[in-house]
Amino acid sequence: MGRGLKKGVFLFARIKNSLFIHSRFARATESWRISTLAVAFARLWILLRALPSPLFFFSKYLLFGVFLLMDLSCSWDSDDEYEKFIQRMNPPRVVIDNETSATATVVRVDSKNKYGILLEVIQVLTDLNLIIKKAYITSDGGWFMDVFNVTDRDGKKLSDEATTDGIVDYIRKSLESDSRFISSRRRLVDVAASTNHTSIELSGTDRPGLLSEVSAVLTDLKCNVVNAEVWTHNTRAAAVMHVTDEATGSAITDPERLSKIKELLCNVLKGSNKTREAKTAVSMGVTHTDRRLHQMMLADRDYERSGQDSPNDNSRPHVTVVKRYDKDYSLVTIRCKDRPKLLFDTVCTLTDMQYVVFHGNVDAESPEAYQEFYIKHIDGSPVNSEAERRRVVQCLEAAIERRVSEGLKLELCTSDRVGLLSEVTRIFRENSLTVTRAEVTTRGGKAVNTFYVRDAAGYPVDSKIITSIRQAIGQTILQVKDQTKSPLSPQEPPARFLFGGLFKSRSFYNFGFG
């Protein structure tokens, strides 16, 4: 009996000591995890001390037994609940500093570390239209500490107190949310409903007129496109489109109608291409639009290039991956022309490839951006094989290039109406222009759309064609902004889209109509 009492007291002392240590040094500890049951044990111990001695000793041994049995069968869920408890006890700390730097506002973020937290913070800053000029990243342990030098879109510091307070509140609430970064990889055609709109995701082989065909199908199905983001890269295309019912202006929830939308859009994506199988899926999840586009492009392997489709090396981003044997990390360095959302694109891809950034340094104060990351795979290993190294390089190059828009930039601003996107893209298609990227938004009944277009055969866009298009749509409605000079490489033939002229007819009998 005496020996058992000593063992029980020793076990309890270890538990109490563990709780004390973790409560004082949680921020500096990397590899600790304790069950929620231990917290309950400590609270019950205080209550038991008030009981009479015989009942106290009996209850104590009973409690030890229950604790040991339950701790042996402790599930992931209980640890997860404890992680949430610790998160609430140690909320994220966000500080805005306008004194340290003369040219930028410094944003400091301290929080308990978790997988994907770096991407969460960068995503919030990007969604707030902030430009990240510098960043210092460290998360090698149980705590995440980052410093960002940011400006507004005009390159100025954030001087308005209401704006800075809003940024602090937005970042803190985003990090305190219970949502986890789960990389869902839905394929090809996906429909997800929300209260205001239905989200449709498309992924397939790029070709001239594809956006026109998709928007025409949606118009015929009485769907209004209120927002859309379309990317093309390396003969692949991906889009996230938010649509509403033409009659009600709300989300489409009828299962039969959603099934028909998916079926017809899938037929459009297939076209005459039989080399890739078209798939459909339904999901009720809601994901960040830019991140979904990266995920869809990555899943569609747009980073793979044929020997005939290699762009000029001088225009490519310079990406290296080197293993640091002294640190057991892999060092990733990136040099390329700076642009908005560049850091989001690279960190998003690393996260979706299941790599963790432990340390990082970002400098984008000059026209050329420099990024370096010390990474490990989520399983704790660095990049080991040559094949893995090459894949990381290719995927990061593709992530940088996806948002680089080739072609002539056109901006459309007019009153929104059902079928507007279909009409505009049909005119582009009939004039042998292909859309390389598009941003479609609706603000207060106004359609504000941006298109990047180029000749379907790969030649420079004829100014006479642009004049004709503006006359058809409206001189004041469609404006020419600038031209991003991205000529085709010598290896890429001008007739990149062999069947560009075959899509001028607005006939959809091949896609299930008629």
376 and 261 within one domain: no
Which of the 8 DSSP states describes residue 235? T
Report which of residues 444 and 131 the model is more confident about. Answer: 131
Tell me if 135 sits within 8 A of 146, measured CB to CB.
yes
Question: What does the pLDDT look like over 84-106, one tens digit per residue?
Answer: 555 566 678 999 999 999 999 99
144 and 127 within one domain: yes
Residue 24 main-chain phi, psi, to 5 deg: -90, -35
Domain holding 39, by residue range, is: 2-88
- In total, how many domains does the chain have? 4
84 and 61 within one domain: yes
416 and 268 within one domain: yes
449 and 429 within one domain: yes
472 and 323 within one domain: no
Q: Which of 39, 55, 88 is the last residue of a domain?
A: 88
287 and 264 within one domain: yes
66 band by pLDDT with thresholds 50, 70 and 90: low
What pLDDT is recorded for position 24? 38
Residue 81 main-chain phi, psi, to 5 deg: -65, -35
256 and 158 within one domain: no
297 and 409 within one domain: yes
CATH number at residue 151: 3.30.70.260
380 and 319 within one domain: yes
What pLDDT is recorded for position 82? 53
Q: Could you tell me which residues are beta bridge partners of residue 236?
A: 205, 233
Tell me if 450 sits within 8 A of 438, measured CB to CB.
yes
423 and 385 within one domain: no
139 and 98 within one domain: yes
Q: Domain for residue 106, yes or no?
A: yes
pTM of the model: 0.76
The DSSP H or E segment spanning 60 is helix 53-72
Q: Domain for residue 157, yes or no?
A: yes
Question: What does the pLDDT look like over 431-470, one tens digit per residue?
Answer: 999 999 999 999 888 999 999 999 988 888 999 999 999 9
With a CB cutoff of 8 Å and minimum separation 6, the contacts of 228 are: 239, 240, 241, 242, 421, 438, 439, 440
Q: Which of 233, 231, 252 is nearest to 242 (CA)?
A: 252
With a CB cutoff of 8 Å and minimum separation 6, the contacts of 236 are: 203, 204, 205, 206, 297, 300, 302
Tell me if 139 sits within 8 A of 145, measured CB to CB.
yes
Tell me if 147 sits within 8 A of 135, measured CB to CB.
yes
